[in-house]
Amino acid sequence: MESLALLLDRHYEEMVSIRRYLHANPELSFQEVHTPKFIANFHRELGLEVREGVGGRGVVATLRGAKPGKTVALRADFDALPIQEENDLPYKSKVDGVMHACGHDGHTATLLILAKALHQMREAISGNIVFIHQFAEEVLPGGAKPMIEDGCLDGVDVIFGTHLWAPTPLGEIHVRKGAIMAAPDMFEAVIHGTGGHGAEPHHAVDSVVLGAQYVNQLQTIVSRRISPLKHAVITVGQFEAGTAYNVIAEKAVIRGTVRTFEEDVRNRIERELEALLKSVCEGANAAYEFTYTRGYPPVVNHPEETDFLADAAKRVPDVAAVKECEPFMIGEDFSYYLQKVPGTFFITGAKHPDWETAYPHHHPRFNFDERAMLIAAKTMGLATLQYLEKYHK
């Protein structure tokens, strides 16, 4: 029987073809219709057990080995982003204002071809492999939680997942024990002042001035309220106010994001943001509204499974280096899977060696070296086979 690596090499062109098809036909979070059907049909043609509509729009396929054993889950997401693509590619998005700008098309193609290769090795597999194809990773409340509630992890002993990462060089695998990605929360502060003529500010309560004070002062929360030994980020992304240049705005709306790893830091920042808003507004006789929306929990990798994945990665010929990475302040709802079963989420480098600039994720010119999909498949696949062999009943 051919090795997993050779099988994946043989199917690489098909992997690329799938990725490019998905890239050209993206679907937004919670609006995925054709993508899950495509995924389900692919697995069904392989002869796997397939469940559609898991948690809403998810797809779960199960490969049962010829012998009994443990169960490994592998996860990929498949939603796109509301971004107009600016790449000039033969497989450029055909959908106006929608683009795979985060690599989810590559995640899906990786998992589909890995399933095909592993199915061809079925007679040598002891145990089961569950392929979780998740919808709506990009938008709260995300697809992971409802899929888990609908049983996608039932009977699963361990889970592995990866993110193709364009800024990281091709051939590198980055791992981290413990927290690797942050909790991404959102907040909205609405300031209600009193509108008026721009020439008579003394007859008004200027919401823009109060909003500016709030934006400036909230930057001190991290620097003066949170221990310098802790990680935290507060970013204001939106400031909306006013209808004309000579009119004092009655209302200002400020929206931003908070990124943390620890629950006590998360709680403290939420309290401080509202307390600061209250003090700014009360001092000027303005009213306010404050809303804090909690996003996904931090992604916290299990130490033993992280070491296991790292050891497997070192045995993949295409992997040039396995490194421990710094934590990322981005969010990922893979965190919910890791709250239920042991596992690890790792980074697969996807920057082409000839690219001077790798456009960041969520950029209209985002792209990645497609060979990273093959490395991701070989790494997850080898970790899966070694895990099933090690814990063979």
Residues serving a catalytic function are: 79, 137
DSSP state at residue 138: S
> CA quadruple 392, 116, 110, 77: dihedral positive or negative?
negative
| 104 annotated binding-site participant | yes
Helix (H, G, I), strand (E, B) or coil at 116: helix
**Interhelix angle 104-120/371-390, nearest 10 degrees:** 50
Q: How far is CA 37 from the centre of its chain?
A: 22
Please name the amino acid found at residue 140: L
Q: Do residues 95 and 151 make contact, with C-beta atoms less than 8 angstroms apart?
A: no
Q: Do residues 252 and 193 make contact, with C-beta atoms less than 8 angstroms apart?
A: yes
| 172 annotated binding-site participant | no
- Characterize 44-56 residue by residue with b for buried, 16 or more Cβ atoms within 10 angstroms of its Cβ, and e for exposed: eebebebbbebbe
CA distance to 115, 305, 311, per residue, from 314 (Å): 22, 14, 5
Q: Which of 62, 147, 139, 76 minimizes the C-alpha distance to 105?
A: 76
- Cα–Cα distance for residue pair 176/313, rounded to 1 Å: 13
| 174 annotated binding-site participant | no
Please name the amino acid found at residue 151: G
Q: Do residues 374 and 111 make contact, with C-beta atoms less than 8 angstroms apart?
A: no
| 163 annotated binding-site participant | yes
- Characterize 265-287 residue by residue with b for buried, 16 or more Cβ atoms within 10 angstroms of its Cβ, and e for exposed: bbebbbebbbebbeebbeeeebe
Longest dimension (CA), the chain: 84
DSSP string, 55-87: TTTEEEEEEEPSEEEEEEEEEEE--BBS-----
CA angle 105, 375, 6 (to 5 degrees): 110
Q: What length does the chain have? A: 393
| 102 annotated binding-site participant | yes
Q: Do residues 137 and 77 make contact, with C-beta atoms less than 8 angstroms apart?
A: yes
- Token pair, residue 168, equals 């990281």
Which residues are part of a known binding site for Mn(2+)? Answer: 102, 104, 138, 163, 362
